[in-house]
Amino acid sequence: MHGKKLVYGMKGFNKILICCKQATYLHEKQREGKLRFFERMGLAIHLLYCSFCKLFIKQIEQLETCTKQYQQIQENKNKFSSSRKAELQKVLNEAMK
Amino acid sequence: MSNSDILEPQKWIERYADLLLGYAYPRVNRQDVAEDLVQDTFFSALKAQDTFRQESSEKTWLIAILKRKIIDYYRKKSTQNELNVLTEANGNDGFMNHFFEKEEKYDGHWTDDSAPRSWRKDFETKVETDEFYDVLRKCLGKLPEKWSAAFTLKNIDGLESDEICKELEISPSNYWVIMHRAKLQLRECMEKNWYTE
């Protein structure tokens, strides 16, 4: 009985120690609250000691913020050339006839 | 009032062409593609004037049509091949082996070349420059279409994973793998081209 319990315990322990590859994979799922118990624990423990993965997550978050800003900037920046616009108007007029 | 009284197609280009282009461009990252999508939007709208409901404005209606066009573009552009390699979350393929050591031998740790480094201190003051956004656009452009589509839908349109799966016609497990890989590649590209001095 006792031995069996110990084996189960070890199984859980193995699941809890995850590597950088898994940690960076689980990060996205974690943000949507889609981790199982062991995965959640595993990621939290990994991030306690792994400075690379902590840095990875921080930098990804910075890049995501930049991507949002990029979109806002582009929305006001990109324009049709006046010749392209005239051309477009012409074909659209044709289609409206 | 019928729709023909409310919609003014002859004024669409003057009023909305640049606005729609601004919407499309950061989502596809290519000027020619964005222009084509806007043109298609006007043509589709012209044909679909009956579907216009007066509760929405002309502008909102046109943007809704453009949104569908962008999604269709994402779907068409990505090939099945891109997805075939993506069935395994932690696959030991060339892509993953570039970033991580093999699990059996070295515990899946970052490889020496790919481990994240601290970025230069001044980046926060520099990120708003045109050069920065050029690099970001190029790095996004280097991702396989479906990856950048997923990344864009999440970070620009703010969609959740299940909506993105539906729009891109991918499975949830494909989605998590795609996001993992997209983030690895994008971060590395930015580090190499911008953040290290």
Q: Kindly report, residue by residue over A77-92, the tens digit of the pLDDT.
A: 778 998 999 999 998 8
Residues B97, B185 share a domain: yes
CB contact under 8 A, B115 and A68: no
Residues B103, B184 share a domain: yes
pLDDT at B102: 81
pLDDT at B89: 55
Give the residue from B41, B151, B164, B180 with the most A CB atoms within 10 Å of its CB, the best one to mutate: B180
Are A81 and B27 contacting, i.e. CB atoms less than 8 angstroms apart? no
* Structure tokens that stand for B90 in this block: 């932690």
Are A78 and B18 contacting, i.e. CB atoms less than 8 angstroms apart? yes
Residue B197 has pLDDT above 60, yes or no: no
Give the pTM.
0.83
Give contacts of A19 with chain B, Cβ < 8 Å.
Answer: 100, 103, 107-109
Q: Coil, strand, or helix at residue B40?
A: helix
pLDDT at B84: 54
For the segment A33-58, what is each residue's pLDDT rounded down to a tens digit? 999 999 999 999 999 999 999 999 99
Separation CA B157–CA B166 (nearest Å): 14
Q: Among B77, B111, B135, identify where a domain stops.
A: B77
Residues B89, B53 share a domain: no
Residue % of chain B over a pLDDT of 90: 51
Domain span at residue B71 reads 3-77
Are B123 and A63 contacting, i.e. CB atoms less than 8 angstroms apart? no
Number of Cβ atoms within 10 Å of the Cβ of A81: 9
Give helix A37-49 / helix A20-31 axis angle, nearest 10°. 120
Domain tally, chain B: 2
For the segment A7-34, what is each residue's pLDDT rounded down to a tens digit? 444 455 566 788 999 999 999 999 999 9
ipTM of the complex model: 0.84
A20, A78, A84 member nearest B22 (Cβ): A78
